[in-house]
Amino acid sequence: MTAVSLDKVTKVFNQGRPDEVTALSDINLEIGAGRFVSLIGPSGCGKSTLLRLIADLIPASSGTVEVAGKPATRARLDQEYGIAFQQAGLFEWRTVQRNVELPLELRGASRAERKARATEMLALVGLADFAGHYPAQLSGGMQQRVAIARALAVHPPLLLMDEPFGALDEMTRERLQSELLAICAKTGTSTVFVTHSISEAVFLSDQVVVMSPRPGRITAIIDVDLPARDDAARQSPAYFEAITAVRRALRGTDNASASTDAVAAPSSRTPGSASPAATAP
Amino acid sequence: MNLLRRVAPPVLLGIFALVAWELTVSLGRIAPFILPAPSAIWHELVAQRQNVWEAALASGLNALVGLAWGTVAGVLAAMAASRFRLLSEVSIPLAAVLNALPIIALAPILNNMFESTSSVPRRLVAGIIVFFPVFINTLRGLREVDPTHRELMTSYAAGGWTFTRLVRLPGALPFVFTGLRQASSLAVIAAVVAEYFGGLQDGLGSRITSAAAFTAYPRAWAFVVGACLLGLFFYLATLLLERIAMPWKTRLIS
């Protein structure tokens, strides 16, 4: 069973106009059910666009996008996925609880069912005590957890995330990464996760999809096989090997002058600091 | 202590100004028909308190009715204008023209259109004055939708009226109240000033003109004080309503 299937997908913005941009070209990707897949690449490589195509927030110019075996539009209407963005995007006039209830409300769930599900989801992200608070009373990390709870509220088989931890500090980010993995393992949700952090992609994913810009395309798909996903894993050789592999794949997508010194570079750096390849000297 | 520090300076300044005013009038021997002393105005206010109260009720009701219909019309027009692009392009210059229209020019004409015992002209004037700030602010609020909210609602397949009801209207609420705060004082001014041009003579405006016509200047001033208090009451009531309507903002302050 595949969660997401993209076949020869292209996306062209402003088609037929002087400012025409090919954002994505010839994308083929299969994401298996229950898998955690990251999309990584420098800015402008179309990773966010790709996520929006899967979410059917924008239409593909050509090719087919299928989610849970259905056309993307059908999947969206059936709420087959939950989505979270870099901005938590909570509705400030609703309490935390009513924010989480919103997707259920739009599905026509009963009041009791909504309340039960929201309570369950808030417990899952560790915010049960904050149900009655308003978003502005929470920290950025807590808001993002509410956004994740909201994305999971309808128990979707697929979770789409667009740099959800991008605006958070390093400590909060690492804690939320572990929490997210635990939630995904518990609920069996497939996840597509957009990031520009190599270490984040490697730590979270079963598979890292490396993309390059102009036009946006997939240049490598790297399988990550860590023994466990805990703090010890962040120190394991397998983790560093995967980081090196992803970094090398990202360098390979750079222009020729940058790739000449890319061969020597990975070993001379501390892998943990994982700077994006786009900033190579 | 904190409250005292915030309240004390304006109160002290007000007392100082009143004392200075009193001394200027009594020591400077300014004729009472030019500027009456605060003590004389206070004396009249106490003596006329029944009349001031009744006139304030009449003017207040006119202002309230004007404020209500002007606000409803302003919000509905803003919703329509934000929904249909063409309508907004036509309606914004039209609303600007309406705003530039001096009520002084409008009041006598409206008074002639209705019976002399009718309160409708004053309420119309107040409503027209209220319409503009409410319309412009609400329209801006309705247009400013967080792009993340927009994408989120698309992912929920929620559009049209659901989107307006759940996202755009609550999002526009702070803007509506910005307009309403301006409009509440304007409504009182409009209701009072409209009485200077005829029509039913039971409000503060007509009392001010008739007192002035009888050269009873302290009495005229007493009614001006009444109008000032009425305007202040409307403004504070709007602030209170804002707090009640947007509990998510109130909670942050407390």
Q: Per mean pLDDT, which range of A99-108, A247-256, B215-224 is the poorest?
A: A247-256
As beta bridge partners, residue A195 has A40
Instruction: Please give the sequence-ordered ranges of beta strands (E in DSSP) within A72-113, or none if there are none.
Output: 81-84
Q: How far apart are CA B137 and CA B183, in angstroms?
A: 11
For residue A198, pLDDT beyond 50: yes
DSSP line for A190-254: EEEEEES-HHHHHHH-SEEEEEETTTBEEEEEEE---S-SSGGGGGSHHHHHHHHHHHHHHHHTS
Residues of A in contact with B161 (CB under 8 A): none
Q: How many Cβ atoms from other residues are within 10 Å of residue A231's Cβ?
A: 10
A166 touching chain B per CB within 8 A: no
- B44 within 8 A of B208, measured Cβ to Cβ: no
Using an 8 Å Cβ cutoff, are A164 and A148 in contact? yes
Tell me if A215 sits within 8 A of A20, measured CB to CB: no
Which positions in chain B touch A134 (Cβ < 8 Å)?
247-248, 251-252
Q: Which CATH architecture describes the domain B35-253?
A: Orthogonal Bundle (1.10)
CA of A215, closest CA in chain B: separation in Å? 24
Residues 84 to 103 of A: which have CB under 8 A from any B CB? Answer: 85, 87-89, 91-94, 102-103
pLDDT of residue A280: 38
Q: What is the pLDDT of residues A120-177, one digit of tens each?
A: 888 888 888 888 889 988 888 889 889 988 988 888 888 899 988 887 788 878 888 8
As a whole number of angstroms, the longest Cα–Cα distance in chain B is 76
Instruction: Kindly identify which residue of chain A lies nearest to residue B245, measuring between CA atoms.
Output: A93
Which two three-digit tokens encode residue A53?
Answer: 């195509």
**pTM of the complete model:** 0.76
Return the DSSP state at A168: S
Burial per residue of A48-73, b for 16 or more beta-carbon CB atoms within 10 angstroms, e otherwise: bbbbbbbbbbeebbebebbbbeeebe
The pLDDT of residue B247 is above 70 = yes
- Concatenated DSSP letters for B163-213? HIIIIIHHHHHHHHHHHHHHHHHHHHHHHHHHGGGSS---SHHHHHHHHHH
The string of DSSP letters for B47-114 reads HTHHHHHHHHHHHHHHHHHHHHHHHHHHHHHHHHHHH-HHHHHHHHHHHHHHHHS-HHHHHHHHHHHS
What pLDDT was estimated at residue B72? 95
Q: Is the pLDDT of residue B69 over 90?
A: yes
| Vertex A23 angle, CA A17 and A27, to 5° | 130
- Nearest Cα of chain B lies from the Cα of A73 at a distance, in angstroms, of 9
Instruction: Say if residue B213 is exposed, middle or buried (CB neighbours under 10 Å; 0-12, 13-18, 19+).
Output: exposed
Residues in chain B with CB shorter than 8 Å from the CB of A56 are: 155
What would the pLDDT profile of A202-255 be if each residue is shown by its tens digit? 888 888 888 888 788 888 888 888 777 777 788 888 888 888 888 888 887 444
- Chain B residue with minimal CA distance to A159? B155
Q: Cβ of A93 and B171 within 8 Å?
A: yes
Query: Which residues in chain B touch residue A137, judged by CB atoms under 8 angstroms apart?
Result: 251-252
B156 vs A89: CB contact, 8 Å cut-off? no
Closest to B146 (Cβ–Cβ): which among A52, A56, A89?
A89
Q: How far is A138 from chain B (nearest CA, A)?
A: 11
Instruction: Determine how many CB atoms are found less than 10 A away from the CB of residue B247.
Output: 12
Res A255: pLDDT: 45
Name the residue among B149, B154, B171 with its Cβ closest to that of A89. B149
Task: Say which of B167, B171, B251 has its CB closest to residue A134.
Answer: B251
